[in-house]
Amino acid sequence: MPTINENLKHWSSYDWTNRGDEWSSLWGGTENIWFGALLPRITSMFPADHILEIAPGFGRITQYLKDRCEVLTLVDLTERCIDACRERFAADRHINYIINEGKSLPGVADKSIDLVFSFDSLVHVELDVMQGYLTELARVLRPEGRAFLHHSNMAAFRRADGAGFTIENKHWRGATVSGDIISELCDVNGLRCYRQELVNWGCKDLTDSFTYIARQGSSHDHPRELLQNPRFMEERILLSKQGYQTKST
């Protein structure tokens, strides 16, 4: 189970020489994963005046988010990551930087955020962290604000007797988190999980979830649309053959 302290230790000592772009190599680069895999999934969430990104690392996706908002707030547990982003995006005066304790959004005003985004980070956290962030989402999202969170679905594979899992946890996914659990937590926090896409990641099993969240009572408040996509990793084959010529910062 990846705890908050384990995450802090791991990402503080990780070799960030490639600024996280190494995780995009299967897609043929970070440009491909943004323009080919992520942007099509969240394009309806723009425009977004104030974006908040949880756990940006060294800014792999931040470099694209920063040009799609008036204000961008970055929140990360790891001081090293925040320092790296502060240096990388020093010329961008509309970015705020926050170091947190792993599951809250300190200093973020109530009902101030249009889009909360997190990709390829919250997959490594457990339910206590997800509960903390969902509680905070209910506080900081504007009435029509939304969130796109990439998180673990490993708890869906827990054995009926509770003793272990039916599949191997190959990629350090949170063992206590699933799409169903997050959807239920949204309900009790005054939020609505209105769409989930369960995807495979480096395996054939649907170990991950892309979860779309809005406020209850908003225009996006409707029963959950649940999509199962066991061919997500096949997207990388097509994308790796394409070249998005956007310049990275």
Low-confidence ranges of the chain (pLDDT < 50): 245-249
Q: How far apart are CA 152 and CA 61, in angstroms?
A: 19
User: Does any domain span residue 249?
Assistant: no
Q: How far apart are CA 150 and CA 179, in angstroms?
A: 10
User: Does any domain span residue 55?
Assistant: yes
Sheet arrangement for strand 95-99? 95-99, 71-76, 50-54, 113-118, 141-152, 208-215, 191-199, 225-229
CATH code, 41 = 3.40.50.150
pLDDT of residue 241: 67
User: Does any domain span residue 248?
Assistant: no
Domain count, the chain: 1
User: Does any domain span residue 93?
Assistant: yes
Domain span at 199: 4-239
User: Does any domain span residue 245?
Assistant: no
User: Does any domain span residue 154?
Assistant: yes
pLDDT of residue 161: 86
**pLDDT tens digits, 120-172:** 999 999 999 999 999 999 999 999 999 999 999 999 999 988 889 999 998 99
Token output for 51 = 């974006």
User: Does any domain span residue 16?
Assistant: yes
